[in-house]
Amino acid sequence: MCQADCNGCSFSWSSGQTTIVNTDVLNLMALSVNEAGQYTCMASRTGATTREKTLSIKVIHGPSSGSLDPTDTHYTVEIGETLATVTCSASCWPCSYMWTGPGPFSSSEQTISLQGATKASDGRWTRKHNFQHNLNYYKTKRGFIVPAG
């Protein structure tokens, strides 16, 4: 509900340049992801200053898609070298991330970078962002190959 300290005020709610309703009450039900954003209440009266208040609406939603950056599907790293940073992204709010790898490796960061690859780095790696995607690392004689998936 939008309120103002004035007699005879008229009220409206808008989002962007679009007026949603010309009352002091904004009813938002069963919101979709597209309805997240800024909503502004405007109180006005002829001959008086118009007052506005803006609220921000965030819609909690699970991931509808996920991706890796860079999008390369295979990485080859020699033992002792570093794997460039790989970033997991998802279309969700709020998002949480989890990387797991061979041995005890795990990280809740959105990005990973393998420093000083060893034979123990060979194996299966998994990223999760509210749902699971697998990355399989295939062994080579001197390093490993990572298909991003």
The class that CATH gives domain 66-145 is mainly beta
Question: Which residue ranges make up each domain of the chain?
Answer: 10-57, 66-145
Give the pLDDT confidence of 3-59 residue by residue, as tens digits: 878 888 899 999 999 999 998 898 888 888 889 999 999 999 888 888 899 999 999
* pLDDT tops 90 at residue 146: no
Average model confidence (pLDDT) across the chain: 77
Confidence of residue 139 (pLDDT cuts 50, 70, 90): very low
Burial of 146 (0-12, 13-18, 19+ CB in 10 A): buried
Report the amino acid identity of residue 57.
Answer: I
State the pLDDT at residue 126. 63
